[in-house]
Amino acid sequence: MKIKQGCKIREIAGEQIIITHSEDSTDLARVIMLNRTGAWLWQTLNESDFTPSAVAELLAKHYKIDFSDALEDVKRWLHILDRAGVIE
């Protein structure tokens, strides 16, 4: 999987957010707020292919947590990003 091209993280009022626009004829925008960990992962993974396991390994090493716990967190995070349409 990969972060969709054109989806960029922005800092607004001290918050890390991603703003996406609809791909159809409607002019709707979606705002996704990221916590510090989500923003770190987004910036680390930007422009590279990744798997849930690879992301979990990064998270486990960075925060010194159990891989299986990290993998569960990553699966939830990726599910949210997938529903928001920012990963492919």
Asked if 1 and 77 count as a contact pair (C-beta separation under 8 A), the reply is no
CA distances from 36 to 9, 22, 33, 46 (A): 12, 26, 10, 15
Q: Model confidence at 22, in pLDDT bands (50, 70, 90)?
A: low
Q: Evaluate whether the domain defined by 9-84 bears CATH number 1.10.3470.
A: no
| pLDDT more than 70, % of the chain | 91
Read off the pLDDT of residues 24-52 as tens digits, 9 standing for 90 and up.
555 567 788 999 999 999 999 988 999 99
Nearest one of 20, 77, 13, 19 to 45, comparing CA atoms: 77
Q: What is the pLDDT of residue 58?
A: 96
CB 59 within 8 A of CB 72: no
